[in-house]
Structure 1
Amino acid sequence: MAASNPAAISPVWAKYQACISKPFVPRCLELESILANSSQKDLSSLLPYILENIFGCGPEPGWPLDTLSKSHGVEFDVVTKFLGPEGPLLNFVYKLQLDTYLTYEFPFASLPGPTRHMIEDGSLPMFYVNKLQYQGYSKPVLTLGAFEFYMFHFCHMLVCPSWQSKQLNWNNMADVVYPFLLDKYLHYFLPLNKKSLPKFPLSPASVRSSMMQSPTSTKHSPGSGTQTRSRSRLGLLKANLLSPQKSHIQSPSAEKLEAEIWWSETFVQIVAEFWLHQNTHDVERGITTHSLSWHRHNSSLSESLMFESFMPSNNHVRLVRLLLKHLHYFVNSVEPEIVASPYSTAETAPLDEFKRSLLPMLLQKKIYCYLRHGFERWPLDSSFRLMLETWLTFIQPWRYKDPENISQQHKETERVDDVWFPFIRDNFLFYSAMFEEFVQRAKRMHLTSLQHAYIIFRVAKVFSLPGFPQMLREVERLMYNSGYRQHQDLGGSCIAPDLTAILRVQISDLERPDFQYINLFGRQTDAEMQHLLRQIHAAKSALEATVQEPEKKSEKSGFAAFFDMSSYFEDNSKAYGDMSVVEVKKVINHLEQTVTHFCQLFGMKPNEQAMFIPQSPGDTSRISGQRSMIGNMSLGDQTSLMNTSMASLPSTPDHKMTSHGPELTEAGRFQLMNGLKKFDLTYQGDPDLQPIRSFENKTLVRVLHKLSDCLNKMFHTEMERLCSRPDLIGKMSQVYLSAPISPSKVPSSPIQREVFEQLTRPRISLRFLGSYQTLIYLIIVYFALKYLAGFGPIGYLMFLVLCTIVYGLFRALTLNKLKDIKSN
């Protein structure tokens, strides 16, 4: 263990304490000078303090690597150079790694929750073999080499609580120190070109790769030069199924290259451990879905299994997507195997074998658990697009083949080549199970939102790529084949396991034991898609109605168009909520394209999603009778039949009338929730308390409301007595003091009895005088009378009073006749 007493290294310690309080530029320069001019023995004990000061794993807050950007100028350049893969600090770490007896303690509490609970329960992950020490009954101590110690600090910084609580957004990740360093590390430790693999220092006892060789591997005699390579328990079954094990003579150059690969593999494992393994899919889902009630009665076991759920930040998701992109480039850069003859075995370079084994052996399960947890727990808002794009990045490796020639990359309109069939087969749950999770989320989305419409459009577009649905259907068809088949391989006949075994092993590795697989192209998925497409159709219809409404208003002509001045005071910049007309049309286009793509994926006809919309129980028998005839009809006949049947049904949801208004039935609730039918929306409250409109004067409306409220409170008894008179005065009073709701009218929506009784009482309402349109009309009439008849203000007021009396008298004489006509 490294010495922990600063007094033992007092000269170096004093220099270090003097430089850490300085600004970044002199601090980095002085640290570089200390690393270059001090002995390795003194600096080895100083490494934990340097890393704690930089990354803040302990009480130190750490450097602001998440906010330090290129706008800071020299500070950005100095810090990235100091922490770069070939910078002074990591060059020093490489040298310390050569000492196999030099280890450092990393806080056990800083490990991911699933790893901590596995170790506490007695299980030992393969990555932590020979890294844990137990001291009595206390928690184990994690001891790491210098390189692992550095990378543990670097990766933990992203998921520490202090960074998670900031909720920063790196819109341009190349301008911020932390993502900039990650990109440099990826290109350094996972180079796309085999010749650009860094020349790491090698220790006399060659460092072996934990993936290329398990800890239990044994060596033959030194003279033989052969070595038996075995794989970890997790990858052993996969290796037997996916590819044959190869055993060949290791040359000294190959031994050296395998030792260099250790650095790349260790870097990938640490990144995956901290960024992809914060939640376990199988344990968490198994408890929450089936045995949560049982665990409530067994608190000790529940506490050991139900740890906190970690929700990644937006920046965390962005970096995971950056990682997946580079991993695709890295794996796709593998060189093909060259076989000289059918009787010889291809000699595979260790770096190429590492590229082929990277995803299935190290990362597949962790990436799957990470995406599964994100799909299940991410908030139902537009930020889900980050997680969605990360998923789409992983399932489209064909888009990441040559980073230097982006213009020649696969476009989302080109056909997916059959060469990607093995990747789709070996990762099929990423396509089938994850798509099912997405459909469940999509059904809860607000599809009239531009962001949500684009999210569902992106998935539909990817899954309908030419050639892609055919490969998905072929993989799912092979899942249900059983037995073994014979095939020719390299000129010889052999028996290989059927693909069913591979896919079933994939399910057992990635999913929980009680997982129920749902066919991607089965009846249940078809029913879910029908439901989703109906929601899309309803959202599109609602948006189309808002776009057509301004067009209907513009159709007014003649006398009505001349006096209609409401368009001058309406806000036409917003068509639906906060969206403009252009944005609404964009949403409609996204929804239309989504329907087209999903119909191509599942082999449905464009209008089939609205063909059998569930109605009330009485309508179900009518539609079920039509269902048997539609199979032999053309698409035009189907559409005509659907429109005819839908037009004959009532437009309002099923309901029953009560004394408090309509009450929905079960069928009515379904129709209303899915947008199949709707009530005519009318305001049922006090009309004087409606929100002030854009065509009303705010101050005038408030003053008139206070005046009307004061008059109604002072004279409410006299008003009721006047309206109850059976003579002409009573009828005229009913015209002027009409209640908002007639006492004999049944409310069209549920309303409290006290409010309903209050709205049926006669009252004075002067709010109409607060409308700009009314004021303009009064001003026009005033100037017309002034210039045509010479009326002054007093004469104009008398004219208005006379018009009001004539209007009341006319309405009073015709009131009973209108009631008789309406009743008949």
Structure 2
Amino acid sequence: MAFYNENYGNRILEILNYPVMHRCPELGLLVDRCSIRELQDVYPAIVSSIFSSNGGTGWGLRTTTRETNPHDFDVLYNFFIPLGPMFRLCYRLLNDAIKFELNTEILPHKMVEMLQNGQYSMFYADLLNIDPFRRSVTSLSLNAFDYFILNFVIHGTVPLHKMFPAALNVHNERSKTAYFYLTADYLCAFMPSNPDAIVMPTNICGTVKVAQPMPVQPLQPTRSPKYLTLSPLAHFTAPNKSVSRTPESPRAYAWRTESVLYFFVDGWMRFDVDENRDLPSSEFIRVVRILVKQLHAFGNSAELDNTSMASLRKLAQPMMNARIYPFLKSIIARWPLDSSMSVVLELWLSYIQPWRYTFDRNYSNTSYEAPINPKYEQFISENLVIYTQIFIQILPRFERLDFTSFRNGVMLHRLIKVFSQSTLPQMLRYCEEKASHNIGNVSMTPQTSPKRTIYYSSRSIEAPPEWDTFGSSKFFQESSYIYMFGDYVQAQIQQFIKKVYISKMYVMQEIESIETSIKRETQGFFKYIAHFLSKLFEDMTDEELKLQELRKIPDVLDIAIQSLSYIFDVNLPDISIEHIEPREVNYSDLDLSATDELDISRISPAQMRNCITHCKITSDPALLPIQAHECTILVRFLHQVTCKLNMMFARDMNEYFQRTDIWGKIARQILNPPMAVQRFDKSKGYSILCENQLPPRLCLRFLASYKTLVIIPISCFIAQTLWGVPSLGLLILIFLTFMYIIIMALIS
């Protein structure tokens, strides 16, 4: 496409209204053609359009997935990758004189409080714009790279799943959006785990940041001033003239890494999740987990890095440590107790296992569990509260789970597997004892056993140096701290093990009941023939699918019981099947009016499943989405054929379906029964529940399954082998099908 001598800035603003498929390629061409002045004028409008500063979906980074819209996904992803057109635009605008204002009103609430109270590091000192009359921060003055990255971070905190159906589907289905992949790419590109890696590209302006001593201080003031502190403002109002701003300064080499580190950590881990605010989406929790894992990998390479980036690597984990505990505590307290709880659980488990994230980790042998490196003992001691208090907080929530559900059993297995690995239980017990000893707390009376003394015997009686400060931490001085290996938690663990053990026995009882029911269905000649034929033409029944899942649960629960017994030195319960009561659900006791709209933790999964069994399908089975075991072309072709037949013979089908003789029974085996189809009509701007009655109708969709497509050629091959006539196999198959229909009609 030819571009004439026109105002490229106006052309860019016009392109922003194009569809994504055309917007990104044309904008990518104009990035290299425009002058710096024109790009500077339209850059804020471009960023605002991408992230929709008014709270919309913008270009759809958080709603576009590869599964739902592969073409738009590829176009967006290639435009925003670290070496793509968007970053070429950012790098062209890197200059001392080019700054963009970002209003603090769009920042996360706690990040604004940090800036207004003066509790920020020197990183922000040369970014702040301060109103001299109100003595408050009004905006941030950012270069093009920082402006884009900070807007990208803020976009992830917007609760789009509350406002847009497309984002809600992503939230529910845990799909990986373009935003998810780009987050991983940005963190890996600008905070590389490999100490020899170089942040690309290298040929960019290195004087866009004021040179400061590395590392930039990550610690916050110990007091909260009433007004803005003057020390960080002094740098903003009167910068030091003697500071060198040559590209050789350490900050010139790693300023992009520094910006990504501070903006992501402060923007996401200061996210406010108190009772008065919306919960973030599950996608937000998953991208925070990516951040946690990459920060661990980035920080674990500090000892191997000889460049100026090593100082930033040493800051990564301390910055995260200072913010992660209140974030995790509030998220776990409010998150709904359903299958999405596993997303929050995995975030916490990723944080407390930094030894898993190193650039030289060998992932080929996943069955071998390497011992925890002694260098992580300091991390465990400094983060003891996050190990113990979060575990104690999550334990009562797990007690409300129904462990006869496989998903809940897997969540329990993940939790217990982490805390039972290698020497972690011994390390935690040792750290708690030393902390208690340091502050003279005698309330903790942990039980020791021979299998624990092996770890203690190799340790010094004196507390390590880091306990001089950590042992006097407010968490241990306050009475709110609960010792993980104390008597109180041990009593809770005993009750919890008993609950899990009873759940295991319930599952085994249910497995036995279903197996007996399936055997009963195949007793007798006709029932056996009907069952055999149904296996040829139908998938597994609901009972067989349920049995297949239930058989996995006892082993998972048994491992959890054994591991809990080992960690806490608790004896296994002695309960037999005769001592447990049959499971009952009392619906009269359920009071849903007082529950939070997102908190379904007061209803157990067993109660929810029992409610679901009373629900009826309100959509036509013939219009369900095409499944993985079906041929797409055949499903659509057979649907058109059956629609034509149903229109031509609708009256005849209805008459035969209503008959009470053998022909009526056969018709009821072949035709789908009448049903009421319900849908929501939103064409008028609000939802109206519409209902449509469907008559008896023919559905040949089962012929489109790959199982049927395999059975037909096999029958022809067998007939060709035995009688030399392949069509005879097809005739026999049709005959067996009609025999099956007649037998099922007679049985009914």
TM, length-normalised to structure 1: 0.57
Matched, 1:321 2:289: yes
Alignment of structure 1 residues 432-581 onto 2, 5 Å: 432-482=388-438, 498-504=465-471, 507-508=473-474, 516-550=480-514, 573=541, 580-581=546-547
Distance 1:553 1:29 in 2: 61
Distance 1:259 1:596 in 2: 54
Check 1:231–1:117 CA distance in 2 against 1; reply closer, same or farther (3 A cut). Answer: closer
* 1:77-130 superposed Cα distances (whole Å, 9 cap, x missing partner): 44333322223332332343431x54322233321122335556x455336445
Distance 1:553 1:522 in 2: 47
Check 1:512–1:14 CA distance in 2 against 1; reply closer, same or farther (3 A cut). Answer: farther
Paired letter, 1:208: A
Paired letter, 2:309: L
Matched, 1:151 2:155: no
Distance 2:90 2:278 in 1: 31
Distance 1:161 1:103 in 2: 29
Check 1:311–1:551 CA distance in 2 against 1; reply closer, same or farther (3 A cut). Answer: closer
Residue in 2 aligned with 1:16? 12
Residue 169 of structure 1 aligns to a residue whose secondary structure is helix
Check 1:368–1:211 CA distance in 2 against 1; reply closer, same or farther (3 A cut). Answer: farther
Distance 1:19 1:563 in 2: 72
Distance 1:22 1:103 in 2: 28
How many residues matched?
Answer: 536
Residue in 2 aligned with 1:428? 384
Q: Which structure has the larger Rg over C-alpha atoms?
A: 1
Distance 1:383 1:691 in 2: 22
- Report the Cα offset of residue 34 of structure 1: 3.2
Residue 335 of structure 1 aligns to a residue whose secondary structure is helix
Alignment counterpart, residue 598 of structure 1, candidates 564, 579, 582: 564
Alignment of structure 1 residues 130-141 onto 2, 5 Å: 130=126, 131-134=128-131, 136=133, 140-141=137-138
Paired letter, 1:391: W
Distance 1:177 1:66 in 2: 6
Q: Is the 8 A contact 2:206 2:253 kept in 1?
A: no
Distance 2:216 2:405 in 1: 52
Alignment of structure 1 residues 333-372 onto 2, 5 Å: 333-336=301-304, 349-360=307-318, 362-372=319-329
Residue in 2 aligned with 1:308? 276
Matched, 1:56 2:63: no
**Relative to structure 2, which stretch is displaced further, 83-92 or 174-183?**
174-183
Residue in 1 aligned with 2:95? 98
Taking CA–CA contacts closer than 8 Å with sequence separation of 6 or more, which of the two structures ends up with the larger relative contact order?
Answer: 2
Paired letter, 1:589: D
Residue in 1 aligned with 2:186? 185
Distance 1:253 1:416 in 2: 43
Check 1:424–1:555 CA distance in 2 against 1; reply closer, same or farther (3 A cut). Answer: same
Residue 105 of structure 1 aligns to a residue whose secondary structure is strand
Check 1:437–1:174 CA distance in 2 against 1; reply closer, same or farther (3 A cut). Answer: closer
Alignment counterpart, residue 263 of structure 2, candidates 266, 270, 277: 270
CA-based RMSD: 4.6
Residue 424 of structure 1 aligns to a residue whose secondary structure is helix
Check 1:91–1:453 CA distance in 2 against 1; reply closer, same or farther (3 A cut). Answer: same
Paired letter, 1:324: V
Identity %: 23
Check 1:433–1:254 CA distance in 2 against 1; reply closer, same or farther (3 A cut). Answer: farther
Matched, 1:395 2:352: yes
Matched, 1:86 2:104: no
Distance 1:179 1:550 in 2: 42
* 1:695-730 superposed Cα distances (whole Å, 9 cap, x missing partner): xxx999xxxxxxxxxxxxxxxxxxxxxxxxxxxxxx
Distance 2:90 2:141 in 1: 12
- Report the Cα offset of residue 552 of structure 1: 6.2
Paired letter, 1:20: L
Matched, 1:208 2:211: yes
Residue 139 of structure 2 aligns to a residue whose secondary structure is strand
Residue 101 of structure 2 aligns to a residue whose secondary structure is strand
* 1:645-675 superposed Cα distances (whole Å, 9 cap, x missing partner): x98x99799xxxxxxxxxxxxxxxxxxx9x9
Q: Is the 8 A contact 2:108 2:267 kept in 1?
A: yes
Q: Which runs of 5+ in 1 are unaligned?
A: 1-8, 215-229, 236-249, 285-306, 338-347, 485-494, 612-641, 654-672, 676-689, 693-697, 701-775, 781-824
Q: Is the 8 A contact 2:207 2:245 kept in 1?
A: no
- Report the Cα offset of residue 180 of structure 1: 2.3
Matched, 1:419 2:419: no
Residue in 2 aligned with 1:257? 250
Alignment counterpart, residue 298 of structure 2, candidates 299, 307, 330: 330
Q: Is the 8 A contact 1:478 1:499 kept in 2?
A: no
- Report the Cα offset of residue 532 of structure 1: 0.8
Distance 2:398 2:73 in 1: 42
Distance 2:387 2:477 in 1: 19
- Report the Cα offset of residue 498 of structure 1: 3.6
Residue 143 of structure 1 aligns to a residue whose secondary structure is strand
Distance 1:313 1:204 in 2: 38
Q: Is the 8 A contact 1:317 1:387 kept in 2?
A: yes
Q: Is the 8 A contact 2:214 2:250 kept in 1?
A: no
Distance 2:113 2:280 in 1: 19
Residue in 2 aligned with 1:125? 120
Paired letter, 1:89: M
Check 1:652–1:44 CA distance in 2 against 1; reply closer, same or farther (3 A cut). Answer: closer
Residue in 2 aligned with 1:224? none
Q: Is the 8 A contact 1:48 1:104 kept in 2?
A: yes
Q: Is the 8 A contact 1:55 1:62 kept in 2?
A: yes
